[in-house]
Structure 1
Amino acid sequence: MGINIDLLDYFSVIFLISIVASIPAGVGLKEWAYIAYFAPLGISILGAVMVAILNRFLQGLVNLAALPIYLKSKK
């Protein structure tokens, strides 16, 4: 993706975004947070949106992988 960022900066931004995302009805707000928090680090809007979409996709994969375990525990 051509995004170069220090690992500590990345995890600091992800931490802040996680706080924003915990606000109820945070759809769209989380994506805005990616743009707002990555911009001061020199990441373009497109780059921040790409990271946000990739993050949503990975979260979905983790959720799907955990679904059988959750359903099995409900029996």
Structure 2
Amino acid sequence: MKTFKINLVEDFKYDKLIAALQSLADEGIIVFEETNENEPEPATEDQVQEIIEESELGPYYTEKEAKDILNL
């Protein structure tokens, strides 16, 4: 699956874009989800492991403790 980011140049055509995307979603061609850019995406498990390794907490704390310390 590929993910695309769409920046709408003209706000007044918002409804037209939403209608087109919803139509494609209704046909099963795409999965349409509106997101909030201010909302960070959760880290993947691989990213979490890399953060723990980079912080060098692994030898001193359990994985759960390291996640708690790093707020992951």
For normalisation by structure 2, the TM-score amounts to 0.30
| Structure exhibiting the larger radius of gyration computed from Cα positions | 2
